[in-house]
């Protein structure tokens, strides 16, 4: 990390908050002090943003650490908080979503519409026998029914598990099996890159090995042909549309499971991150309001992410709806039908806050600043970044060419596990440094520690840890308490290990440096090296595989695989490489496809037999080789280098 890091820390541009924004900001500098004086009391105040049917009698129970309970004894309903209470307050006509389909079709969905649709969907799920506590899998494109389905589950206390529509049938199958879902909600397909892209075939394939799934509810979006299994498959419009639009919500315990979201870990098996209701909703609502400086009456908020990731859960669905805000939701890709689509949408809906990933920004940089320059982006007042470290050049380009050199950029660090934003500037308070996530938010306690767990001095790097429990923290891994303890709470006793490297600069501000474990970040998506390696070796022609994340100018990191073929397939060749890339796509999903596959004769290993990924990364990034003295046979690296002249 050294050279890139010292360049980063020589970054000395500073951007003060705009005076007008600072003067009217939701959160001021005093909040840090107020929150650290009594962290738990701070979160109690934020919890009162929500409607509780019954207030809690204990704010935090940490007696069985690291298993937290927040707002013990409190009762609430997440869907009621996101929908009904806004209607009851007279805001039923307010737009919840300006939805735009990729082909250009649009839908305007008010809070009153949402209340009716969510009630109908809840009634439909009840008719299908879904009970409180049952898991429902959702595998959908970016359409309003995805939000409706999630809220319908929340309303009846059935935890949802949304599987990103870009995941393969195998990945879907594994997730359905792991959380034992009995109902799947999907659609015939969605629009991507100007054409309908199918989802139902993946569901059919997955369910061949999920005998316990009783029903599949299918939303008609593209009208493409679908296979139909009578008795199991039901059209959403047949079942949901005829339901009553009245449904009285039940209130659930604050710790009632809200959802399970799978994410990649360092082993091949994805982890089911469990989020519960009261603490999660409290922190997503507060962070959305505070970090984006939300003014619910006037802001038009847009998180340009997929609902299938935690960013979509927290900042397309639960945060904005809990705050009664109007959001934009877009189905498709940024370059369909032209490379100015996002900017056209911002101008059309008057978007005031945009939240997206650095990989998107770098893509727009590549396409050129003349594209956004054609659109009126003056409505924007805050820009957000998430998913991976934002390099200073992308930050400054974003601020200059999208934000008109006026808007603060908030670089928000968090994870599927943290549920909500954790480390971020505050737009009305922080003097922004391009590339730095800056400081733990009020109510959050973060530290950078060395190998021994001691806080590092300013100017040094180490591991990011969270030192106190926070309301939106994961409660466990679905069905695997021990793995929860081992993965997050064992590396540094009593503290949460995030898996990220970080550095404190001379002012004590935090710069995130990427993962320190076998996890890659490709276009802001988390991928496990081990999972891709297992996918590769599951192919009959592959004997052994090693995967590394190599720096990539657009996607942040890219997947580079080194494979040893079995005897007869040894020569590799373009056809085999293509076959392997497709195999990874069908095992995990197209996002996991290696950018490059290098067929090699041997892999560099330590004397104890561990693959030396660091060296492979050097090769993949065309660097001088690092220290090879612990290699069993350093000529292996020469072999690999030679092979590199014929990349796949
Ligand atoms: C990992 C979590 C949080 C929603 C999207 C990704 C990286 C995330 C930042 C940031 C540097 C970041 C970390 C983290 N990450 N945001 N602002 N700066 N790195 O969620 O899939 O759970 O991935 O993404 O490495 O551990 P996720």
3-class SS letters over 379-419 = CCCEEEEECCCCCHHHHHHHHHHHCCCCCCEEEEECCCCCC
pLDDT tens digits for 563-598?
Answer: 999 876 666 688 899 999 999 999 999 999 999 998
Cβ atoms < 10 Å from Cβ of 88: 13
Q: Which of 421, 425, 384 is nearest to 403 (CA)?
A: 384
The answer, yes or no, to whether residue 32 has pLDDT greater than 90, is: yes
Q: For ligand 1, atom 16, which residue shows the shortest CA distance?
A: 387
Cis peptide before 520 (omega within 30 of 0): no
The answer, yes or no, to whether residue 347 has pLDDT greater than 90, is: yes
Please give the distance, rounded to the nearest whole angstrom, from the Cα atom of residue 414 to the centre of ligand 1.
Answer: 5
- For residue 181, the surrounding DSSP H or E stretch is none
pLDDT grade for 2, boundaries at 50, 70 and 90: low
Is residue 194 a known part of a binding site?
yes
pLDDT tens digits for 304-340?
Answer: 999 999 999 999 999 999 999 999 999 999 999 999 9
Please give the distance, rounded to the nearest whole angstrom, from the Cα atom of residue 413 to the centre of ligand 1.
Answer: 6
| Region of poorest pLDDT, from 5-14, 57-66, 400-409, 554-563 | 5-14
pLDDT of residue 360: 95
Is residue 476 a known part of a binding site?
no
Ligand 1 pocket residue status of 387, Cβ below 6 Å: yes
Is residue 614 a known part of a binding site?
no
More confident call, 270 vs 36: 36
pLDDT of residue 1: 46
Average pLDDT on 123-133 reads 98
Say if CB 86 and CB 94 are below 8 A apart. Answer: yes
Please give the distance, rounded to the nearest whole angstrom, from the Cα atom of residue 387 to the centre of ligand 1.
Answer: 4
Is residue 413 a known part of a binding site?
yes
Please give the distance, rounded to the nearest whole angstrom, from the Cα atom of residue 528 to the centre of ligand 1.
Answer: 14
- For residue 477, the surrounding DSSP H or E stretch is none
Crossing angle for the helix pair 169-179 and 200-207, to the nearest 10 degrees: 50
Collect all residues with Cβ–Cβ distance below 8 Å to 19 and sequence separation of at least 6.
Answer: none
Torsion angle of the four alpha carbons 80, 81, 83, 87, in this order, in degrees rounded to the nearest 10? 90
Q: State what percent of residues in the chain have pLDDT above 70.
A: 94
pLDDT tens digits for 604-634?
Answer: 887 777 888 888 888 888 776 666 666 666 6
pLDDT of residue 142: 98
Ligand 1 pocket residue status of 416, Cβ below 6 Å: yes
Average pLDDT on 161-183 reads 96
Collect all residues with Cβ–Cβ distance below 8 Å to 578 and sequence separation of at least 6.
Answer: none
Q: Which of 415, 413, 416 is nearest to 441 (CA)?
A: 413
Q: Which atom of ligand 1 is nearest to the CA of 519?
A: 25
Ligand 1 pocket residue status of 190, Cβ below 6 Å: no
Ligand 1 pocket residue status of 427, Cβ below 6 Å: no
Q: State what percent of residues in the chain have pLDDT above 90.
A: 84
| Region of poorest pLDDT, from 114-118, 434-438, 452-456, 643-647 | 643-647
User: Which residues share a beta bridge with 137?
Assistant: 161, 184
- DSSP 8-state code for residue 588: T
Output the furthest CA–CA distance in the chain (Å, rounded): 73
Distances (CA, A) of 328 to 90, 126, 325: 21, 30, 10
Q: In whole angstroms, give the CA distance from residue 125 to residue 114.
A: 16
pLDDT of residue 647: 42
CA atoms within 13 A on the CB side of 171: 33
Ligand 1 pocket residue status of 359, Cβ below 6 Å: no
Is residue 155 a known part of a binding site?
no
Q: Which atom of ligand 1 is nearest to the CA of 314?
A: 4
What's the chain's length in residues? 648
Ligand 1 pocket residue status of 449, Cβ below 6 Å: no
pLDDT of residue 284: 98
Q: In whole angstroms, give the CA distance from residue 76 to residue 53.
A: 5
Would the ipTM clear 0.95, i.e. be above it?
yes
For CA atoms 511, 517, 522, 526, the dihedral sign is negative
- DSSP 8-state code for residue 17: P
Please give the distance, rounded to the nearest whole angstrom, from the Cα atom of residue 625 to the centre of ligand 1.
Answer: 28
Ligand 1 pocket residue status of 210, Cβ below 6 Å: no
Q: What is the mean pLDDT of the chain?
A: 94
Say if CB 257 and CB 272 are below 8 A apart. Answer: no
Please give the distance, rounded to the nearest whole angstrom, from the Cα atom of residue 412 to the centre of ligand 1.
Answer: 8
């Amino acid at each position: 990390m050294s050279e890139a890091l010292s360049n980063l820390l020589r970054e000395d541009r500073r951007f003060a908050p705009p005076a007008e924004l600072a003067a009217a900001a939701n959160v001021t500098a005093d909040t840090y002090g107020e929150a650290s004086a009594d962290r738990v009391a701070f979160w109690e105040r934020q919890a009162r943003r929500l409607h509780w049917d019954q207030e809690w009698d204990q704010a935090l129970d940490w007696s069985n650490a690291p298993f937290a309970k927040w707002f013990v004894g409190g009762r609430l309903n997440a869907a009621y908080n996101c929908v009904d209470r806004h209607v009851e307050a007279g805001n039923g006509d307010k737009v919840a979503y300006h939805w735009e389909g990729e082909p250009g079709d649009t839908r305007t969905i008010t809070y009153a519409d949402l209340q009716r649709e969510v009630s109908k969907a809840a009634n439909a799920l009840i008719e299908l026998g879904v009970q409180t506590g049952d898991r429902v899998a959702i595998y959908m494109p970016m359409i309003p029914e995805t939000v409706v389905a999630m809220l319908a589950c929340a309303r009846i206390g059935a935890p949802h598990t949304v599987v990103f529509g870009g995941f393969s049938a195998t990945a879907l199958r594994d997730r359905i099996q792991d959380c034992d879902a009995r109902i799947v909600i999907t659609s015939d397909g969605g629009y991507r890159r100007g054409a309908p892209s199918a989802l139902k075939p993946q569901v059919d394939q997955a369910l061949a090995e999920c005998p316990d799934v009783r029903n599949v509810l299918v939303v008609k979006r593209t009208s493409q042909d679908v296979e139909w299994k009578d008795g199991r498959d039901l059209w959403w419009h047949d079942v949901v549309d005829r339901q009553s639009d009245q449904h009285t919500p039940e209130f659930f315990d604050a710790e009632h499971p809200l959802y399970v979201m799978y994410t990649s870990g360092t082993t091949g098996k994805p982890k089911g991150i469990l989020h519960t209701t009261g603490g999660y909703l409290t922190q997503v609502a507060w962070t959305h309001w505070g970090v984006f400086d939300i003014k619910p009456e006037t802001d038009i908020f847009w998180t340009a992410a997929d609902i299938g990731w935690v960013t979509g859960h927290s900042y397309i669905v639960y945060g904005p709806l809990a705050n009664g805000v109007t959001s934009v939701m877009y189905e498709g890709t940024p370059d369909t039908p032209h490379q100015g689509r996002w900017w056209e949408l911002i101008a059309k809906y008057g978007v005031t806050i945009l939240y997206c990933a650095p990989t998107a920004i770098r893509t727009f940089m590549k396409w050129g600043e003349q594209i956004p320059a054609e659109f009126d982006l003056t409505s924007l007042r805050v820009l957000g970044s998430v998913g991976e470290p934002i390099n200073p050049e992308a930050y400054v380009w974003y601020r200059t060419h999208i934000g008109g050199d006026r808007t603060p950029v908030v670089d928000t660090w968090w994870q599927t596990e943290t549920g909500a934003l954790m480390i971020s500037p505050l737009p009305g308070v922080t003097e922004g440094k391009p590339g730095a996530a800056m400081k733990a938010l009020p109510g959050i306690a973060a530290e950078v520690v060395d190998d021994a767990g001691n806080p590092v001095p300013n100017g040094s790097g180490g591991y990011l840890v969270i030192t106190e429990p926070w309301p939106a923290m994961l409660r466990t891994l679905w069905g695997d308490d021990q793995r929860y303890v081992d993965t997050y709470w064992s590396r540094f006793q009593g503290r949460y290990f995030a898996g990220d490297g970080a550095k404190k600069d001379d002012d004590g501000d935090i710069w995130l440096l990427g993962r320190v474990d076998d996890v890659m970040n490709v276009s802001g998506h988390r991928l496990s090296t081990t999972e891709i390696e297992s996918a590769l070796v599951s192919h009959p022609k592959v004997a052994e595989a090693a995967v590394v994340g190599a720096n990539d100018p657009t996607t942040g990191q890219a997947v580079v695989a080194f494979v040893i073929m079995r005897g007869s397939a040894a020569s590799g060749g373009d056809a085999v490489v293509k076959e392997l890339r497709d195999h990874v796509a069908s095992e995990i999903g197209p996002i996991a496809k290696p950018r490059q596959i290098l067929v090699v004769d041997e892999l560099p290993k330590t004397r104890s037999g561990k693959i030396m990924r660091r060296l492979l990364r050097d090769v993949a990034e065309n660097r001088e080789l690092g220290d090879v003295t612990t290699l069993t046979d350093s000529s292996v690296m020469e072999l690999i280098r030679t092979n590199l002249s014929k990349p796949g």
